[in-house]
Chains A and B, each alone.
Chain A
Amino acid sequence: MNIIVCIKQVPNVTQVKWDADGSLIRTGLPTIINPVDKNAIEAALQLKEQHGGKVTVLSMGPSQVESALREALCMGVDDVIQLTDRKFAGADTWATSYTIGCAIQKIGDYDLVITGVEAMDGNTAQVGPQVAEYLGLPLLSYALSIAVADGKVTIDQKLGDVARVIEAKLPALVTVEKEINEYRVTPIDKLIDAFERTIPVWGVDDISPDVVHLGLKGSPTKLRKVYSPKLEKGKVEMLEGTPDEVARQLVDKLNAKFLI
């Protein structure tokens, strides 16, 4: 069973610092594998351990995405592919999905594509579903578990308060939630081996896309401005009374501010 996992390298927002204007300081911010993408890798490795086959990890980004792919190798995946080309730069989720979709078509032989539900920097949750759409694959999103048998994949799906079990024929694309598993601690032998490997880099010429759909030019989304809401000093008000009274006062105040 051959599995392709798509991962994203993101800024480690747990170490974010803000400037005096309340804007995020991006300079020097360390990068990490998007945390839920590690759960996607873990899910793929566990399926491989059950069914055999190969796990390939794919990531699109600038040259430094190499370190995220190296870390994926450290976890024990079989192959990694780095998608780096200046023509890919500035892509929105649609152009990113198209580029990744082309790369998956180039890889060709796969049964399952797994992604994390969403990236912690953009939180769009769009790339996985859009890759499925481009490739014409059934989409099984928000997975809390994955099982494969008899040419089908079955997941437990979490949709807010609703939970359901859904099934699709392979090949398919699954997006996973972080609760699906606890990803493994890096095994040291795989770690040592990972640094012996050369990571292949694919550019435009390797995936034969329609170049008008790539990068910033190929992105339907036009970003006008990125900013952080200005932080304002708040006021603390202590409500008094019995718990019932306090609850009613709180509801009234939130209603007055149209917050509920």
Chain B
Amino acid sequence: MDFTISPVNKMIIKAAKDFSERKIPAIEAYMKANNDYPPDLMEIYAKNRMLGFNVPREYGGIGTSNFNMILYIEEMGKTASTCFLPFMMNNSVAETICHWGSEEVKKKFVPPLCDGTAWATMAFTEPDTGSDPKMLTTTARPDGDDFIINGTKRFISMANKPGYGVFICKDLSLAGQKNNTTAFIIDKSSPGISCSKHYELTGLEGADTCDITFTDVRVPKGNILGNQGEGFNILLRWIAGERIQQAAGMVGVGQRAFDEAKKYSLQRVVNGMPMGYMQGFYWMLGEMKVKLEACRLMVYQAVCKQDAGKAFEVDSAEVKVFTTPMIQEVTRMAVQFLGSYGYSKEYIVEKLFRLAMHQGVVASSLEINKTIVGMTALMSRSK
């Protein structure tokens, strides 16, 4: 597979680097002071035309490739700012609605996700539900032209922000059927919705992850995404893309960790020479670099398949299985490289390390992805 970086790709990287260097510091400063995203974050993204990367222009998007988007995310990842999370969410949910929605649904819900007036959310997880759709307890009960939603979703990003979310619910009108989950697009300011306080997370500083509770929330039938019973498939396709985007961000995180370690290795003088020239340290650098390159190539390969319109769900799971421990190890090595400074909040590597830890548990766990890859291999007819 050819991963030649084209002039367009290079310009995307340049634009992303410019955005990261000139705009993210102010965003990050707000997040540090307020433990939340800036209220105008989506406006900032929209102004810089960063929303709807993979959404056709007729719905307010940009109409470019997922590859270009993950290049942008990779650069944002180097800042270690959590602000890349809502950027990915608006892009991926807008694309998901474009893929599954009727013309009416697309025209109604996609433009606000691209023009910065709406924050996107995607929700499946519940207090007692990991990855099994049969365990869902959030229900959708038909009532005339509406459905009535009841239940709680856990660890939901941007749940308390204005805009639309795709919520996967147990559809009571499909009771007894094998596929009984339906995806509803819900206005998060609807009566009957309440949110908990943010969870304080190990990394992802400033993220607004919380529980969202539905109490007799009325949603029109016209807000169903795809067909009834397709909810879990919609989730699986969405999360396959999200995993690749997340991994791209983590490649950026790993790259920054490597860069910081390299910089330190040239600055810190031990016995009259920069410590990077000691074999123990340049071996570490070599190992970090190789891990990073392998992760990057795997991410690029998966996203190229996605752009080619091929099935990429298993590839995406493989990306998660491979890159999660690799990037976590690269950031851990960076902490080790800087010694006690690496464990200090004065240096960014400890933040990178904490941020990298989220990849194993957010946007599907590492273990469920091992299951996807392993079971697929087991059942495959090819050797």
Judge whether B108 is part of the interface by a CB distance below 8 angstroms: no
CA A4 to CA B81, docked complex, whole Å: 39
Chain A hits for B263, CB < 8 A: none
Judge whether B22 is part of the interface by a CB distance below 8 angstroms: yes
Task: Pick the residue among B22, B23, B64 that contacts A188 (CB under 8 A).
Answer: B64
A185 and B8 contacting across the interface, CB-CB below 8 Å: no
A-B residue pair count with CB separations less than 8 angstroms: 49
Task: Pick the residue among B22, B53, B68 that contacts A185 (CB under 8 A).
Answer: B22
With A191-B15, A192-B64 already in contact, the answer to whether A185 and B7 are too (CB < 8 A) is no
The number of chain B residues with a CB under 8 A from chain A is 20
Chain B hits for A186, CB < 8 A: 11, 14-15, 18, 48
Q: Mark B19-32, 1 if CB is under 8 A from A, else 0.
A: 10011000000000
**A:215-257 near B, CB below 8 Å:** none
B11 and A195 contacting across the interface, CB-CB below 8 Å: yes
Judge whether A190 is part of the interface by a CB distance below 8 angstroms: yes
Task: Pick the residue among B11, B48, B62, B63 that contacts A74 (CB under 8 A).
Answer: B11
Judge whether B57 is part of the interface by a CB distance below 8 angstroms: yes
The 7 closest A-B CB pairs, nearest first, are A187-B49, A186-B15, A185-B19, A189-B49, A188-B49, A185-B48, A189-B62
CA A189 to CA B11, docked complex, whole Å: 12
5 A-B pairs within 8 Å (CB atoms) are namely A186-B18, A186-B48, A187-B48, A188-B15, A192-B62
B11 and A190 contacting across the interface, CB-CB below 8 Å: no
Judge whether B50 is part of the interface by a CB distance below 8 angstroms: yes
Chain A hits for B53, CB < 8 A: 188
Measured CB to CB, the nearest residue on chain A to B23 is A185
A185 and B11 contacting across the interface, CB-CB below 8 Å: no
A195 and B7 contacting across the interface, CB-CB below 8 Å: yes
B8 and A192 contacting across the interface, CB-CB below 8 Å: yes
B11 and A191 contacting across the interface, CB-CB below 8 Å: yes
CA A190 to CA B64, docked complex, whole Å: 11
Chain A hits for B57, CB < 8 A: 189
Measured CB to CB, the nearest residue on chain A to B15 is A186
Chain A hits for B7, CB < 8 A: 67, 70, 195
Best-buried of B12, B19, B49, B68 by chain A (most CB within 10 Å) = B49
**A:126-183 near B, CB below 8 Å:** 182
Chain B hits for A189, CB < 8 A: 49, 57, 62-63
CA A70 to CA B68, docked complex, whole Å: 18
Judge whether A71 is part of the interface by a CB distance below 8 angstroms: yes
Chain A: minimal CB distance from B147 (Å):
36
Chain B hits for A187, CB < 8 A: 48-49
Task: Pick the residue among A70, A184, A188 that contacts B12 (CB under 8 A).
Answer: A188
Chain B: minimal CB distance from A64 (Å):
12
Measured CB to CB, the nearest residue on chain A to B44 is A185
A188 and B50 contacting across the interface, CB-CB below 8 Å: yes
Chain B: minimal CB distance from A182 (Å):
8
Chain B hits for A188, CB < 8 A: 12, 15, 48-50, 53, 62, 64, 68, 72
Chain A hits for B12, CB < 8 A: 188, 191
CA A185 to CA B12, docked complex, whole Å: 11
CA A95 to CA B15, docked complex, whole Å: 34
Chain A: minimal CB distance from B62 (Å):
5
CA A187 to CA B114, docked complex, whole Å: 13
CA A140 to CA B48, docked complex, whole Å: 31
CA A186 to CA B15, docked complex, whole Å: 6
